[in-house]
Amino acid sequence: MIELGFPIKFLQWVLTCMKTVFYSIIINGEPAEPFPAAKGLRQGDPMSPFLFAIAMEYLSRSLNGLRKEKEFKYHPRCAKHGITHLSFADDLLLFARGDMTSITQLQHCLNHFYAASSLKANHEKSSIFFGGVTQLAYWSQLFLIPSKVLKTIEAYCGSYVWSGVNTITRRSLVAWDKLCTPKSVGGPNLINLKLWNKAAAAAKNYWDLANKEDKMWIKWIHAYYIKGQQISNMPIPQQASWLVRKMIEARRSVTTIHIQQKQNNSMIRQLYLAMLGQLPKVDRECSLCQKHDENRNHIFIECEYTKNVWTKLLKWMQRQQLWATSWDQHWQRAAKNARGKSSKAGIFRMVYAEAIHEIWNERNLRIFEKQSKKAEDLARNIACICNVRATNQNRQLIQNFQF
């Protein structure tokens, strides 16, 4: 602290605080007799972080002094910015060329620091890395949720979508990718978290790249990859890591957003869609009949296949009226049948909900798993499920229904 120029009086205050520490332990809610601390301040003391910051400042200045040493050679990717070290909280990264002289110089700094502060690097917690950091591989690991966690999240989502349950089922594991295809190609357009995660990282980093030139790693990318070129039209550096390439490729979306003053998440969405790839567009043809365009009215009411299902179910429930083919008429009749507290109305509500669910499920199975059922089999399935789920009172009535 003397070398850093702190006033003597201040030093005395600090020393008094350090040397006259007493601790007291609370036993059964009562503070016990205080006792002196043999080794001064402990880690949890409010003063510790400040003293640590002062100590690291000393080491940092000492490492910066290496720049003046002719014998010290920078790590090849740190020379342009004169980087000898980076510190984050109590982690320290040291950089040098891998020759004996430069490494020895670094060691001298650490020894000097030890002599001045009594703080020594813990070899068991230190690692040395040689070479292999030419392509910024490190950055590509930042910001990404571990793939195992993503898989679990997706498995839960898949189970919920397919089976409506909160536990992971086998089916969800295979079908998730298919659920993430956009509407334009016939998919349900759920978010592919893995890709979204990558898009978010790339978009955020591109934003930083274009707007925050004061950050050290931004300066670093500028110095080694961008080299004074315009990010908006420079060629993509092929030797760069995946993330650096994606960050630069994100420029089109980012530029558009910049002009339109939109929020960041639109940028991520655009990047996400670009990463999802150009899937061939398909006509939204009804997968149940392959004759008409697919839309809500068609799938649930107008389609020949659906009409067959409803007709069989209505007959089974002993309701003879024809199923309506216009949306309004359909709703009026359905509401009329569902109204009231009678068993018949209760059964109708259950069958109606189950039928809508099963028709939608049949549509998805045809598109994504190339499986199909005849209308009659689907109606029979719905009837079976309702039989199992019915209350005791309703079940008696259901069992009288004939298929």
Query: Which residues are at the interface with Zn ion (CB under 5 A)?
Result: 286, 288-289, 303
Give the up-direction half-sphere exposure of residue 275: CA atoms within 13 A in the CB hemisphere: 28
Return the closest-CA partner of residue 350 out of 387, 318, 311, 316.
Answer: 387
Write down the least CB distance from residue 289 to Zn ion, Å: 3
Q: Read off φ and ψ for residue 92, nearest 5 degrees.
A: -130, 130
Beta carbon nearer to Zn ion, 179 or 286: 286
Minimum separation from the CB atom of position 287 to Zn ion (A): 8
Spatial separation of the C-alpha atoms in residues 367 and 282, rounded to whole Å: 12
CB of 288 to Zn ion, least distance (A): 4
Q: Is 230 exposed, middle or buried (0-12, 13-18, 19+ CB in 10 A)?
A: exposed
Minimum CB distance to Zn ion, residue 304 (Å): 6
DSSP result, 6-39: --HHHHHHHHHHHHT-EE--EETTEE---EE-TT
In the complex, minimum distance from the CB of residue 308 to Zn ion, in angstroms, rounded to a whole number: 11
For the chain, the distance separating the N- and C-terminal CA atoms, rounded to the nearest angstrom, is 92
Return the number of other C-beta atoms located less than 10 Å from residue 376's C-beta: 12
Nearest to 248 by CA among 265, 266, 264, 229: 229
178/298 with CB nearer Zn ion = 298
Closest approach, Cβ 348 to Zn ion, in A, equals 24
The smaller minimum CB distance to Zn ion, of residues 108 and 284, is found at 284
Q: Count of H helices and E strands in the chain?
A: 16, 6
Which backbone phi and psi does 118 adopt, to 5 degrees?
A: 65, 15
| CB 79 within 8 Å of CB 89 | no
Q: What are the structure tokens assigned to 217, written together?
A: 């790693």
Of 301 and 303, which CB lies nearer to Zn ion in the complex structure?
303
Residue 231: which of 217, 247, 215, 219 has the closest Cα? Answer: 247
CB of 290 to Zn ion, least distance (A): 7
Here the tokens at position 386 are: 């309702």
Nearer to Zn ion, 288 or 386 (CB): 288
Cα separation, 27 vs 360, whole angstroms: 65
The vertex-399 CA angle with 398 and 403, nearest 5°, equals: 85
CB of 195 to Zn ion, least distance (A): 32
Q: Residue 288 or residue 378: which is nearer to Zn ion going by CB? A: 288
Q: Which residues contact 371 (CB under 8 A, 6 or more apart)?
A: 365
- Smaller CB separation from Zn ion, 254 or 286: 286
Closest distance of CB 306 from Zn ion, Å = 7
Which CB, 289 or 345, lies closer to Zn ion? Answer: 289
Nearer to Zn ion, 180 or 288 (CB): 288
